[in-house]
Chain A
Amino acid sequence: GENVEQHPSTLSVQEGDSAVIKCTYSDSASNYFPWYKQELGKGPQLIIDIRSNVGEKKDQRIAVTLNKTAKHFSLHITETQPEDSAVYFCAASRSGGSNYKLTFGKGTLLTVNP
């Protein structure tokens, strides 16, 4: 089955700096890669996703890049703010067929220091 590795497990940055979280996946058939943000006491919230036919996607201060050959994808947050502090999860999945399992990485605790 799919295996998703996420690094780093913790990340501390100063407000205004950029943050980068990296994930690798094992199943070359995976074609959907979402990123979720989980704040304390809440459920994960989808912040951005990318399909395998796209190399990069941007939404304001958040961007995701995908390298299918190397089987890794990254989340980039620019101009970080204290409200960006949360646990971030990457995930990978196939679509179609009978395997609909969304496999998550173990998460990255991002702390943005004012």
Chain B
Amino acid sequence: GAVVSQHPSWVICKSGTSVKIECRSLDFQATTMFWYRQFPKQSLMLMATSNEGSKATYEQGVEKDKFLINHASLTLSTLTVTSAHPEDSSFYICSASFRGLAYYNEQFFGPGTRLTVL
């Protein structure tokens, strides 16, 4: 159980275009979803936290207008990179969690999406 999927797993786009990445919890209802960014050989950096039906909370330094997050349902969150540029190229990882006695604060991670902006 507790499977999270991401789509696409790899995307290449031209500079100036927008790219949408989907994150789905397949077998549970995620009260909260998180989006991380990971540069090569570095750690995960939290970009934003989103709760179903409410606006995402962005971490300091993350551009809200550049990285649009929509958490439309308890099983789906999307990250849209708007007007992508080469410096946005990175590995994006989502995770999901839910409140429950056995899973306090545990996050279940998706397999990640590699974005390359040409």
Same complex for A and B? Answer no
B-side interface residues toward A, CB under 8 Å? none
User: Which residue numbers of A lie inside 8 Å of B, CB to CB?
Assistant: none
